Amino acid sequence: MAENKSAAVNINQNAGGEFERTPVPNSKLKGWKSFLGMYAGEHAAGTEFMIGPLFLAAGASLKDLTFGLLIGNILAILTWRYLVAPIAVSSKLTLYYQLEKIAGKYLVKVYNVVNGLLFCFLAGAMITVSASAVGIPFDISFSVPENILGLSSPAFSLIVIIVGVVMTIVAAAGYNTVSKFANIAAPWMIVVFAACGLSALSQMEVDSLDSLLIEWDKGVSVVQSINGKVDFGFWKIVIFSWLCNAAMHFGMADLSIMRFAKDSRAGWGPSIGMFLGHYMAWICASFMLAAQIKLTGDISANPGALAWSAVGWTGIICVIVAGWTTANPTIYRAGLAFQSLFPSNAKSYSGVILAGLVATAAGIFPALSAKLLDFVGLYGTILGPMGGVIFVNHYLAKKMNFTQDYADKKESGFNLAVLLAWVLPVALGLYFIFGDQKLFAAYAVIPCWIASSLLYVIIMKLQKS
């Protein structure tokens, strides 16, 4: 799921700093191929080690997984290309400044804090992933308690705290160093993912597609004999893989990156990264769990143990590096969001320290990382609808005769129409996700996005702005 790479590293560095409140000048624009390189590293992250095995653990068939991920990833790429890129190229503004012009600076602060909190939980899952690998040499593995707030062993919790504190200090002190290290590690990580998959196939003694399907189905049977029958079918996989990055495309977070594009072809940028990270890496990671089930009967998706079994020390290093290089910028970004909570004379790293503490606290509860499939859907459901407001503001405001960039034009710090258009559909979505219906979180993303868009149009028309 998340961070950066090579030739376009400048884009990422600038995305948070330069031209924050002005359109990107023509001299700084990049060709669409720069975006291919950047996204290639972004989607091969620590969480891939966690998400891949969860498909098998959730009972998905290999056929559904292979074709479902293919369709879902294509839909995600098309969303970037035809939803995000045209607006980014036209306005050339960051998501935050664009939102500030529509929603007002105080509402953007609320959005930032919510965004920061969700980032912390994502970083927490990455800390758990890294800790799972750190524990292997010390023979400390983790169990996932039934209770969402249940703890694993004291030794594993201690490793999570140590890993979390180290990551927080590094994020507060040396973001750029880790960012450069992430660029160096990205190609190596992608190759190690592929090697893990090949090694897992060898462990399963697979020599044909038929034998692979048999081993996979055996794995699913073992999981279901322990966890009970669950359904993770074709369309669920399509929707999940399409919308696991919904905050970035439907939610328009990637406006901040694609504003550096010369033209809308930059929207094809995520295509290589998606198929490396959210296709090849997920499938390879799921093979590792299938191999573990065949070899030991153990159905726990422990990334460190899986990688250790597949490729030894290289796997351990890969899990730690993948978790670290993605948790670090995530904590940093969450910290920037939290910084607005501190007085202006507070130390510049206060927000990062707070974000690191929250992420570490989240990482102590392994059940949270085991719920990653649900969490990324929740992430898109909560943040995605703001993209609907931006879409309406960009395409429909003038045509439907209401004020474009309302807060900016009216000098308002808080646009109530945006708050209502955001909160009401999200509240309803959360009710269905956490209520008796137990809706799969990713299913709520698009209905919430459409509802927010319509609601914003209706409220703006009603208040005759």
Partner 1 sequence: MKILKLISAVSIGVLILLVSILLFLGSLEASIMKVLMLIGTILWFVVTPLWMKEE
Exactly one of 187, 234, 413, 420 binds partner 1 (CB under 8 A); which one?
187
Decide: is 183 part of the binding site for partner 1 (CB under 8 A).
Answer: yes
Return the closest-CA partner of residue 377 out of 320, 327, 449. Answer: 449
Is 6 an interacting residue with respect to partner 1 (CB under 8 A)? yes
Answer whether 243's CB lies under 8 Å from 80's CB: no
Give every CB contact of residue 347 below 8 A, 6+ residues apart in sequence: none
What's the Rg (C-alpha) of the chain? 22
Q: Are 49 and 319 in contact (CB under 8 A)?
A: yes
Among 184, 214, 416, 450, binds partner 1 (CB under 8 A): 184
Q: How far is the CB of 354 from partner 1 (least distance, A)?
A: 32
Judged by CB, which is closer to partner 1: 86, or 187? 187
Using CB under 8 A, which of the segments 18-26, 86-94, 176-184, 266-274 binds partner 1?
A: 176-184
The yes or no reply on residue 2 touching partner 1 (CB under 8 A) is: no
Q: Could you say whether residue 317 binds partner 1 (CB under 8 A)?
A: yes
Distance in angstroms (rounded) separating the CA atoms of residues 298 and 420: 47
In the complex, the smallest distance separating the C-beta of residue 382 from partner 1, rounded to whole angstroms, is 37
450 binds partner 1 (CB under 8 A): no
Pick from 73, 179, 199, 325 the residue near partner 1 by CB under 8 A: 199
In terms of Cα–Cα distance, which of 326, 328, 408, 417 is closest to 372? 326
CB of 196 to partner 1, least distance (A): 8
User: Among residues 183 and 415, whose Cβ is nearest to partner 1?
Assistant: 183
Q: Does 202 bind partner 1 (CB under 8 A)?
A: yes
198 binds partner 1 per the rule CB under 8 A: yes
Closer CB to partner 1, residue 285 or residue 311? 311
The residue within the footprint of partner 1, chosen from 148, 173, 194, 458 (CB under 8 A), is 194
Contact by Cβ (8 Å): 331, 352: yes
DSSP annotation of 138 reads G
* 103/316 with CB nearer partner 1: 316
Q: Which CB, 311 or 370, lies closer to partner 1?
A: 311
- Name residue 385's amino acid: P
Report, in Å, the least distance between residue 280 CB and partner 1: 12
Q: Which tokens is 109 given?
A: 């602060």
How many Cα atoms occupy the beta-carbon half-sphere of 77 within 13 Å?
A: 24
Closest distance of CB 195 from partner 1, Å: 4
**Residue 283 contacts partner 1 per CB under 8 A:** no
> Which of 38, 99, 12, 28 minimizes the C-alpha distance to 266?
38
286 binds partner 1 (CB under 8 A): no
- Whether the CB-CB separation of 294 and 63 falls below 8 Å is answered with no
Please count the CA atoms within 13 angstroms of the CA of 303 that sit on its side-chain side. Answer: 36
201, 258, 285, 386: which one binds partner 1 (CB under 8 A): 201
Tell me the closest approach of the beta carbon of residue 223 to partner 1, in angstroms: 24
Name the residue nearer to partner 1 (CB basis): 185 or 417.
185
Minimum CB–partner distance for residue 190 and partner 1 (Å) = 9
CB of 7 to partner 1, least distance (A): 8
- The count of other CB atoms within 10 Å of the CB of residue 248 is 29
User: Does residue 311 belong to the site contacting partner 1 (CB under 8 A)?
Assistant: yes
Interface residue with partner 1 among 10, 13, 314, 350 (CB under 8 A) is 314
* Binding-residue total with partner 1 (CB under 8 A): 21
**Position 191 contacts partner 1 (CB under 8 A):** yes
Q: What is the DSSP string of 326-387?
A: HHHHHHHHHHHHHHTTS-TTS-TTHHHHHHHHHHHHHHT-HHHHHTHHHHHHHHHHHHHHHH
CA distance 398 to 462: 15
Question: What span, in angstroms and rounded, lies between the C-alpha atoms of 242 and 77?
Answer: 8
User: Nearer Cβ to partner 1, position 220 or 318?
Assistant: 318
Partners of 261 in the β-ladder: 30
CA atoms of 288 and 54, how far apart (whole Å): 11
Q: Are 355 and 165 in contact (CB under 8 A)?
A: no
User: Does 272 help bind partner 1 (rule: CB under 8 A)?
Assistant: no
φ/ψ (deg, to 5) at 403? -70, 125
User: Does the footprint of partner 1 cover residue 226 (CB under 8 A)?
Assistant: no
36: contact with partner 1 by CB under 8 A? no
Interface residues toward partner 1, by CB under 8 A: 6, 180, 183-185, 187-188, 191-192, 194-195, 198-199, 201-203, 311-314, 317
